[in-house]
């Protein structure tokens, strides 16, 4: 059976819809999951969110074996997590980084990025639509 695309979301992304909507928009993570599920065709998706670094590391390790591709919005761990960086280094699935906002256009502390060097590419600044762009890129990559 074909492997699914894993979509992993990091800390505070469970708050989408109410968290700083002027930056992150009004869609909830559930809205995003529903749209991606509808667009993934027979590939299918595994869609998860965690506020815990170690759980995200576990899921990246799982994706390395079970995913055709990995779409990752690591939230603030993007800018801090060597553990996630190391898990991504060891990941056999192609990685697409996604952010709702454009971290490069925000505070200086968001300039550090432990995910981008391991990603095929990054989609940032297009709000929730960025996830659809990332899925399109992932499906093309694995075709």
Told to judge if 99 belongs to the known catalytic residues of this protein, a careful annotator would answer yes
User: Cα dist. 65→20, 30, 33, 74 in Å?
Assistant: 35, 25, 22, 19
Catalytic residue among 6, 77, 85, 99: 99
Among 35, 43, 101, 139, binds ligand DQA (CB under 6 A): 101
Told to judge if 24 belongs to the known catalytic residues of this protein, a careful annotator would answer yes
Region 29-68 residues binding ligand DQA, contact defined as CB under 6 A: none
132 vs 129: CA distance, rounded Å: 5
98 forms beta bridges with 123
Smallest CA-to-CA distance from 33 within 65, 68, 87, 73 is with: 73
**Binding of residue 25 to ligand DQA (CB under 6 A):** no
Q: Which is nearer to ligand DQA, 67 or 74 (CB)?
A: 74
Binding site for ligand DQA (CB under 6 A): 12, 73, 75-76, 78, 99-101, 103, 110
Query: What amino acid positions are annotated as catalytic residues?
Result: 24, 99
């Amino acid at each position: 059976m074909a492997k699914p695309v894993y979509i992993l979301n990091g800390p505070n992304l469970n708050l989408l819809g109410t968290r700083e909507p002027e930056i992150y928009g009004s869609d909830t993570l559930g809205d995003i999951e529903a749209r991606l599920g509808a667009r993934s065709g027979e590939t299918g998706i595994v869609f998860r969110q965690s506020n815990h670094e170690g759980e995200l590391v576990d899921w990246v390790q799982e994706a390395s074996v079970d995913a055709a591709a990995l779409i990752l919005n690591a939230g603030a761990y993007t800018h801090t997590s060597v553990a996630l960086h190391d898990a991504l280094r060891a990941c056999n699935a192609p990685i697409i980084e996604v952010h709702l906002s454009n971290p490069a256009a925000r505070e200086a502390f968001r300039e550090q990025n432990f995910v981008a060097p391991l990603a095929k590419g990054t989609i940032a600044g297009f709000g929730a639509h960025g996830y659809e762009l990332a899925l399109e890129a992932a499906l093309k990559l694995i075709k």
